[in-house]
Structure 1
Amino acid sequence: MPRGGHGHSDRGGMAIETHSIGFVPEGERYGHPRRLFTIWFSMNLSIVCLTVGMLGVFAGLSLGWAALALVIGNAIGTLFMAAHSAQGPHLGIPQMIQSRAQFGVLGAALPLLAVVVTYTLYDAANAVVVQDALTTAFGVGPKVALAGFAVATVIVAFVGYDLIHRIGVVMAVASGLLFAAVAAVLLTPNCVPPMPGPQGSFVFAAFVATITQGTAWCLTFGPYVADYSRYLPSSLSTARTFWATALGTFLGATLTMVLGAWIAARFVPIAHSPGLGIPLLFGTGGWIVRLLIIAGMLQNNVMTLYSAYMASAGVLSGFHRHETIGAVTKLILMIALITIATAIAVATAGDFERVFGDMLNVMVYLLVPWSAINLADYYWVRRGRYDVGAMFDLNGQYGRFNVTTLAIYALAILIELPFLKVGFWEGPMARWIGADIGWLPGLVVPALLYSLIEQRKLAA
């Protein structure tokens, strides 16, 4: 097995992570699956997740139908996302490095680059969302606020895995209390007079679209979920890893999104600007709420930057045959990625959704076929049996490029197109259905094709 350097030497201590993309030796494994619950539960207790829950109501659904669609969508997305998480303890490497077994050591650069671009754009989106809270809380200009947010993100991400998990524990409690307090205040009679919007009903297109939104939200975590489980002992069962991740994700996302749907249905002024409206619910205590919102967004930003760095390091290491990334290179990569994200946020101030909203959606659909291929390989084709050392060897058993997998990946993207509905494209099937369900064929078709073809190749 390749070694990646010295990681965390003790459960009780916290040091700067140095393993980067390398294999984590068994003697340096530590932790408990409850860490997976807290990090994914807290990750979903955010203003962004709350806003996603509002979209179905805004599209014309009643609260009940919106809540049902969100439950279905989150359950589907969580199923696939948690299945990726279970790979971490077994293999001891980052999620996207494992893709070399399917795409080839160099061929994996294609989905890796999609991950880098997607998560850099998500960091830009996070900056746009949190900007008003930062300027209000600290009394500084937008550029200074975003620069400070970027610096804090790099510091935490550079320290790495253990600090990220510890923040997850704290934020699971803090954000949980915050959203519970929001619900309690809104339920208090006469405290906040309800201001409902138009009466919603069942709208098939909106119902399907809301399922897609919930599914896509959870699927987005797939390319980096195993990054946060890879230090756990390999003796940990797949079931324990799966359920700790699944329960944290499903409960966090569903509770937050349903709260968002309720706010959209009953408290329209708050729904139109939750980042500003929620702190106002708490009067003089609003500054504490703003800080908690900022802390939650910082956690989101750190995790996306950390995994964008992992993916970019994976691209570089494939071409340079490195199993480790030095501290200086790590810092440079993180600074470069967060600088690009911050520059995008500044350049598109007030117009980010129009300029980059569709691009983010498209990038998600580039990741869905990867998820299908990766899971099909792990659970059905190779059944978890891999040579981790060969994933770092250009001349190893996985080769430089797996042309068959790359062709399946490209075909899956083409198959998704008729079902996609974004600002600049509406496929015929999406037009007929009235909603975007490109993720469904994007999961099913490549998984079936890859399983059939690869099983025959391995049996030959």
Structure 2
Amino acid sequence: MEIERRSIDFIPEEERHGSPKSLFTVWFNANMTVVTLVTGALGVTMGLNLFWCFTAIILGNLIGGIFMASHSAQGPQLGIPQMIQSRAQFGVIGAIFPIILVILMYVGFMAANGLLEVDTIKAVLPVSSNSAIIIASILTLIVTFIGYDFIHSMAKYLSIFSALIFTAVTILIISQGFPAGAWSPTGGVNFGTFMLFLSIAAAWQITYAPYVADYARYLPSNTPAKQTFGYTYVGSVLGTVWMMLLGALLGAAIPDFMDNASVNIASLFGPYTLIVYIVIFTGLAAGNVLNLYGAFMSTTTFMISIKEFKVTKRIKFLILFLAMSAGATIQIFGQGNFMAYYSNLVLLLQYFLLPWTAINLVDYYVMRRGKYSIPDIFDKNGIYGRYNWTSLFTYAATILMELPFMTMSFYEGFVSKAMGGADITWVIALTVPGLLYYLLLKNKVKIQNDQTSDAVVKS
């Protein structure tokens, strides 16, 4: 298969191809992983019974998926990666501030996936943890280097294999016994814990926001936005809800499930554990391919914002290698502390990425209605300017406003404490910045819209 030659540049119409249906398998498969299972099992370890775990998982994903899939719909209309489009909101150079956070997100999730990959590899091969990290990193690097079309093709086949295995896991675990009161809606439930887990479930979907347009940008520009949204939403929400619910069941039925999730799942299959390990590993690897691909896009955007250069295949490989090495380094030093690392990572990303999501969506759907000047997005002296200090202020102010509502293992805001540990930060982060951005910048955006050149992509 041909190596992708495009990076962060605009995809011309003659190179557009594919169907929005492929977005279903990309996002369905992206969530068919042990990481998603572990996230679902977090609710049980936090003290919720299965009824309240299920409620939080379903509600959180249904809500969060709306924001995630709304970003996906931007891909065909604009034909550029998601984070470079942020230049229209923050300025061509100003966009590097949210981009830095997104790069940290990609590297962080690479490390989280990789820590679980290590357990899977070691269960099959007689290798050390560090060797397992290197093996997984090399495979991820190769697939990511090939690029967009290979990622879409791979997702189609892996979705089938993953669905078959996890259907069997679902049947096996349903036959297990569960603790008394596990399904009781009237059982003792802590409101703060429920809201915190609901926040984690919603954040799972919303943290995909910087990813999704990257995998839709090659679709023809006349692809209906409803189809792009719909296939992305259903694929991601269906895959995530299934895996999180299954993770909650596994966490409730197997007391030490979180200690080694991959091994505990494989042990359900007796002599067929090797097949299960292969499926688990490929699912984790596929997730890390998306993380590394996104890290490449965002890192390239960051670097080109500072100094213009041509992205050759050699430079592409170098950037991928550096990003992969960063993730592998975190894995090496993070072994043995997965749960503390992972739960804090998800919450921190939520606090920093949700204000960006709100600003981006308000700008795209409400203020510009999908109309952007693509040449100016690549021009430091264009209509979007070098810095948009008002939007940067809005972004920073929102993060400060979030502080009293935050809940993490090492910090709890005073509002969260007063609410018994409830985390409603995501509600603040999805409403306040969008409203501020609209009120403070509606006149400036109107002027930019009037200045938009003929080189425009309309939704």
TM bucket (normalised to shorter chain) is over 0.9
**CA displacement at 1:239 relative to structure 2:** 0.6
The answer to whether the aligner puts 1:25 opposite 2:8 as a matched pair is no
Answering whether residue 214 of structure 2 is matched by residue 227 of structure 1, we say yes
How far apart, in 1, do the equivalents of 2:109 and 2:264 lie? Answer: 23
TM, length-normalised to structure 1: 0.93
Q: Identify the range of structure 1 (117-126 vs 303-312) with the bigger mean alpha-carbon deviation.
A: 117-126
Tell me which amino acid in the other structure corresponds to 1:253. T
Question: In 2, are the aligned partners of 1:197 and 1:268 still within 8 Å (CA)?
Answer: no
TM-score with structure 2 length normalisation?
0.93
Aligned partner of 1:380 among 340, 350, 366: 366
Matching residue within 187, 190, 212 for 1:203: 190
Hey, what's the Cα distance between the residues in 2 that align with 1:274 and 1:196? 19
Structure-to-structure mapping, 1:130-209, within 5 angstroms: 130-188=117-175, 193-194=176-177, 196=179, 199=182, 201-209=188-196
1:450 aligns with 2:450: no
The amino acid that maps onto 1:299 is A
Please give the residue correspondences for 1:51-200 in structure 2 after superposition, counting only pairs within 5 Å.
Answer: 51-188=38-175, 193-194=176-177, 196=179, 199=182
Gaps of 5+ in 1: 1-13
Partner of 1:8: none
1:424 matched to 2:410? The reply is yes
Q: Which residue in the other structure is 2:315 paired with?
A: 329
Which deviations, in whole Å up to 9, do the C-alpha atoms of 1:50-90 show, x marking residues without a partner? 11111222222221221111111001110000000000000
Give SS of 2:372's match: coil
Superimposed CA distance per residue, residues 360-398 of structure 1 (whole angstroms, 9 cap, x where no aligned partner): 532332111111100000000111000011111010000
392, 400, 409: which is aligned to 1:414?
400
Query: Which shifted more, 21-30 or 416-425?
Result: 416-425
Q: Distance in 1 between matches of 2:198 and 2:174?
A: 27
Match of 1:262 in 2: 249
Cα 1:458/1:185, change in 2 over 3 Å: closer
State whether residues 347 and 408 of structure 2, in contact with CA within 8 Å, keep that contact through their aligned partners in structure 1.
yes
* Over 4 Å off, 4+ runs: 197-200
Tell me if the contact between 2:29 and 2:155 (Cα under 8 Å) persists in the aligned partners.
Answer: yes
Report percent identity of matched pairs: 40
Residues 118 and 364 of structure 1 are in contact (CA less than 8 Å); yes or no, is this contact kept in structure 2?
Answer: no
Alpha-carbon distance between aligned partners in 2 of 1:308 and 1:403, rounded to the nearest angstrom: 25
The reply on whether 1:41 has 2:28 as its aligned counterpart is yes
Q: Is the 8 A contact 1:36 1:229 kept in 2?
A: yes
5 Å matches for 1:209-220? 209-220=196-207
CA deviation string 1:400-426 (max 9, x = no partner): 000111000101111111110112211
RMSD: 1.6
Q: 241-250 vs 263-272, which deviates more?
A: 263-272
Query: Contact conserved, 1:103 with 1:406, CA < 8 A, in 2?
Result: yes
1:346 aligns with 2:332: yes
Supply the distance in 1 between the matched residues of 2:445 and 2:392 (Cα, whole angstroms): 17
Offset of 1:344 from its aligned partner?
A: 1.4
- Asked if the contact 1:42–1:175 (Cα under 8 Å) also holds between the matched residues in 2, the reply is yes
Amino acid across the alignment from 1:49: T
Cα distance between partner residues in 2 of 1:289 and 1:458: 52
What is the rounded CA distance, in whole Å, between the counterparts of 1:157 and 1:208 in structure 2?
36
Aligned AA for 1:266?
Answer: A
Do structure 1's residue 364 and structure 2's residue 350 form an aligned pair? Answer: yes
How many residues are aligned here? 442
Counterpart contact for 1:212–1:437, Cα < 8 Å: yes
Whole-angstrom distance in 2 between the partners of 1:356 and 1:40 = 21
Which of 270, 274, 278 is 1:287 aligned to? 274
Q: Could you tell me how far apart the structure 2 residues matched to 1:64 and 1:296 are?
A: 27
**Separation (CA, whole Å) in 1 of partners of 2:446 and 2:147:** 41
1:424–1:203 Cα change, 3 Å: closer
**2:372 partner amino acid:** Y
CA contact (8 A) 1:61 1:207 kept: yes
More divergent stretch after superposition (431-440 vs 15-24): 431-440
One-letter amino acid of the counterpart of residue 287, structure 1? L
